[in-house]
Amino acid sequence: MRGWLPVSAVACVLWALPAPNAWSTGVEPGKDLRIDPGPCIAAANDDDRTIGLCGALIDNEKTDKAGRIKALIARGAAFGRKDNTDRAIGDYSVALQLDPSLASIFNARGELWRKKGDRPKALQDFAAALRLNPNHALAKANYKSLALELERLGALLAVNNKPSFNCATAKSAIEKAICANPELANLDRQINAVNSRAVSDAARADPRAGRALQHEQDDFIARRNAAFGKPDYDLQKAMRERLDHLLAIGH
């Protein structure tokens, strides 16, 4: 999901906003044409031109509220397409201060926060978009995917630096060594998880193949335990090689 509104979505938001009086009554004699947001919005296919035209409009004190909001949204989208995430967030934020009812802009800003890695702010913006419009499809999809992502991250944090076994009951020297070293603990957990998946996948096609893979894992653990403590044995290297081997089987 890109962290900005596509041109079509920007257009929908822009033209849904109230139009300046000049558009409905015609340009009044002597009216400053620079406050018309039309050219800035029409330049949507040229981001640099959009940024320049909309910037002049935003900075013009004669620009009315509706025109300024349209210009901010158009420029924010252009900044987003140019990967200038901070400037895009800034423009969307000002637009939302002027009109906090813009669900699509909350969603667009949420995508930008997510792109920056600020998941809490992203989730907050997606939720704000859904409060304004419970049927907003993009906000709904973004909220759901981010909530699942945060759930997975929480689960990973819960087991981070922990091996596949309970360190509270560790008795052997090698188990204690693994528990004392976060990198070894993570390797042990990953080896166990990848091996379990490989055995399960193989067993579905052929039970004998699943048993053979598990026997291979048991042999690795036996060799590892027997070699641990010897001067020329590198436990971390052995475990990493085992993990690489298991990952190769999975591919």
In terms of domains, do 131 and 210 share one? no
Contact yes or no for 112/88 (Cβ under 8 A):
yes
Q: Could you tell me which of 187, 199, 188, 196 has the C-alpha nearest to residue 164?
A: 188
d(CA 111, CA 69): 19
In terms of domains, do 130 and 202 share one? no
DSSP single-letter state for residue 31: -
User: End-to-end distance of the chain based on CA atoms, in angstroms?
Assistant: 27
In this prediction, residue 84 carries a pLDDT of 94
In terms of domains, do 21 and 96 share one? yes
In terms of domains, do 194 and 151 share one? no
Average pLDDT, integer, range 193-197: 88
In terms of domains, do 181 and 98 share one? no
d(CA 26, CA 35): 13
Number of domains making up the chain: 2
d(CA 158, CA 107): 30
In this prediction, residue 34 carries a pLDDT of 47
In terms of domains, do 193 and 230 share one? yes
Computed over every residue of the chain, the mean pLDDT equals 84
Q: Is the dihedral of CA 28, 33, 36, 42 positive or negative?
A: positive
> Is 32's pLDDT higher than 80?
no
> Is 147's pLDDT higher than 80?
yes
In terms of domains, do 174 and 150 share one? no
More confident residue, 25 or 11: 11
Other beta carbons less than 10 A from residue 144's beta carbon: 11
Amino acid at 107: N
Enter the pTM of the model: 0.56
Average pLDDT, integer, range 201-221: 92
In terms of domains, do 151 and 178 share one? no
SS3 123: helix
Other beta carbons less than 10 A from residue 225's beta carbon: 13
Contact yes or no for 69/98 (Cβ under 8 A):
yes
In terms of domains, do 11 and 45 share one? yes
Q: Could you tell me which of 151, 13, 134, 126 has the C-alpha nearest to residue 73?
A: 13
Other beta carbons less than 10 A from residue 206's beta carbon: 10
DSSP single-letter state for residue 228: T
| Structural domain that includes position 195 | 167-250
Q: Is residue 1 part of a domain?
A: no
In terms of domains, do 37 and 133 share one? yes
Q: Is 139 exposed, middle or buried (0-12, 13-18, 19+ CB in 10 A)?
A: buried
Confidence band, pLDDT 50/70/90 cuts, at residue 39: confident
d(CA 216, CA 221): 9
- SS3 for 51-117 is HHHHHHHHHCCCCCHHHHHHHHHHHHHHHHHCCCHHHHHHHHHHHHHHCCCCHHHHHHHHHHHHHHC
Final residue of a domain: which of 124, 155, 186? 155
Cα angle value 33/66/45 (rounded, 5°): 70
Question: Ranked by mean pLDDT, which of 3-12, 78-87, 191-200 comes out on top?
Answer: 78-87
